Amino acid sequence: MTTVTHSAFNDLFSVDLISKGLFAVIVLLITVLLANLAAALIKRYSQKLETALPVSSLTQHIAKIAVYSIGALIILNSFGVSITPILATLGVGGLAVALALQDTLSNLFAGFYIVIARQIKIGDYIKLESGQEGYVTDIDWRTTKIKMLPNNVVLVPNTKLTQAIITNYDLPDRRVAFSVELSVHYDTNLAGAEHIAAEVAREVMHDVKDGVPDFTPSVQYTSFGDSGIGMSVSLMAREFAGQAVIKHEFIKRLHERFRKERIVIPYPVRAINYSQEKAQQ
Segment among 59-68, 181-190, 255-264 with least mean pLDDT: 59-68
Confidence category of residue 52, pLDDT binned at 50, 70, 90: very low
Whether the pLDDT of residue 229 is over 90: the answer is: yes
Phi/psi of residue 223, nearest 5 degrees: -165, 160
**Mean pLDDT of the 18-22 span:** 70
Predicted local confidence at residue 171, as pLDDT: 86
Predicted local confidence at residue 148, as pLDDT: 92
Segment among 112-116, 118-122, 192-196, 249-253 with least mean pLDDT: 112-116
- Give percent of the chain with pLDDT exceeding 90: 41
Confidence category of residue 179, pLDDT binned at 50, 70, 90: very high
Pairing mode, strands 153-157 and 166-168 = unpaired
Predicted local confidence at residue 2, as pLDDT: 46
- Residue 235, judged by CB atoms within 10 A of its CB (0-12, 13-18, 19+), counts as buried
Q: Within 13 Å, how many C-alpha atoms sit on residue 249's CB side?
A: 19
* Selection from 264, 267, 259 nearest residue 187 by Cα: 264
Confidence category of residue 82, pLDDT binned at 50, 70, 90: low
Classify residue 91 by its DSSP letter.
Answer: H
DSSP string for residues in 152-185: -EEEEEHHHHHHS-EEETTSS-S-EEEEEEEEE-
Amino acid making up residue 233: V
**Mean pLDDT of the 249-259 span:** 96
**Mean pLDDT of the 165-192 span:** 92
Please state, in angstroms and rounded to a whole number, the distance separating the CA atoms of residues 226 and 238.
35
Q: Within 13 Å, how many C-alpha atoms sit on residue 173's CB side?
A: 7
Amino acid making up residue 175: R
Cα distances (Å, whole numbers) of residue 34 to 50, 66, 70, 256: 21, 10, 11, 61
